[in-house]
Amino acid sequence: LTAGVVVRFLKLTVAYDGTAYAGWQQQRRRRSVQQQLQEAWERITGEPARMAASSRTDAGVHALGQVVSCESRTALAPHVLQRALNARLPEDIRVHEVAEAPTGFHATRAAVGKRYRYLIQDGGTPDLFLRDYCWYLPRELDVAAMQQAARTLVGQHDFASFQNAGSPRTSTVRNLRELTVARRRDERADRVVIEAEGDGFLYNMVRNLVGTLVEVGQGRRDARWPAQVLAARRRSLAGRTAPPHGLFLVSVACDR
């Protein structure tokens, strides 16, 4: 790299359909979203790219507004980079914005808030157009009981019970600022939408919260049970991990 070329920090806002990918992170043999973005970037700028994302979404998980950071020496304008990336990326990954970011911007470290959404179809014939985008459960869920249970989980707590092994963190305390459950009816299917917003989430935390709320919605557990699971701080007590394909990373708030 030539001395004197200015290093820029860029912030990309990216949407993707996670169905065809091993997740955000680069894997040895399987296609990842990171790999697709980095390869497109390298072809456009001629420089190796090393990108970081705010959320390392798992295989099958989707994103409406993932935030990605990239350090670069390219002189191309943000909107030119956006257009060039979208021209080279597969149709299931779209760059919604490219913007200049402050020196040192790193998407993982800058994230101070994340919003996730989880879709469930409960009852009826499985909507084939949602086969990759929601968790199908054959029987109707008790949404009122799920709402009651969700309220007991909101706030700053030690969420160790809702963390899967695989990504040890220094602290398992997080501030879950919002956890809502709502029913949406449309002509084709009944859906239950769960939204979670907080300062950060442990590994598989949203999917474990969903799996636990579903046990309440199915009547297998009382609405007070999730609060007991939370208090126990033991993963083995929580419900099953909900499948990945119902989960969407909606948006990320960065501190600068």
Q: Which helix (H) or strand (E) holds 145?
A: helix 143-151
In the complex, the smallest distance separating the C-beta of residue 68 from a copy of itself, rounded to whole angstroms, is 16
C-alpha 96 chain-centroid distance: 16
DSSP H helices, 52-204, are 78-88, 107-110, 143-151
Q: Is 58 in the site for a copy of itself (CB under 8 A)?
A: no
- Site track 194-233 with a copy of itself (rule: CB under 8 A), x = hit: ----------------------------------------
CB distance 233 to 240 below 8 Å:
no
In the complex, the smallest distance separating the C-beta of residue 57 from a copy of itself, rounded to whole angstroms, is 15
Query: Which residues are part of the catalytic machinery?
Result: 58
How far CA 222 is from CA of 45, 90, 115, 148, 215, in Å, comes to 56, 45, 27, 10, 9
Subset of 124-183 contacting a copy of itself (CB under 8 A): 125-126, 128-129, 131, 133
Q: Is 191 in the site for a copy of itself (CB under 8 A)?
A: no
Subset of 33-52 contacting a copy of itself (CB under 8 A): none
Burial (CB < 10 A; 0-12, 13-18, 19+), residue 152, is middle
Torsion of CA 131, 137, 139, 140, to 10 degrees: -80
Q: Which of 10, 11, 12, 17 binds a copy of itself (CB under 8 A)?
A: 17
Please state, in angstroms and rounded to a whole number, the distance separating the CA atoms of residues 217 and 56.
29
Output the DSSP codes for 66-88.
EEEEEEE-----HHHHHHHHHHH
CB distance 253 to 229 below 8 Å:
no
- Site track 72-111 with a copy of itself (rule: CB under 8 A), x = hit: -------------------xxxx-x---------------
CB distance 15 to 64 below 8 Å:
yes
Both tokens of residue 127? 């909507």
The residue range among 10-18, 53-61, 72-80, 203-211 that interacts with a copy of itself, by the rule CB under 8 A, is: 10-18
Nearer to a copy of itself, 91 or 166 (CB): 91
In the complex, the smallest distance separating the C-beta of residue 91 from a copy of itself, rounded to whole angstroms, is 5
What SS3 state is found at 134?
Answer: coil
Q: Which of 16, 41, 118, 201 binds a copy of itself (CB under 8 A)?
A: 16
Nearer to a copy of itself, 120 or 160 (CB): 120
In the complex, the smallest distance separating the C-beta of residue 168 from a copy of itself, rounded to whole angstroms, is 34
Q: Is 62 in the site for a copy of itself (CB under 8 A)?
A: yes
Chain residues binding a copy of itself by CB under 8 A are 15-17, 62, 64, 91-94, 96, 125-126, 128-129, 131, 133, 188
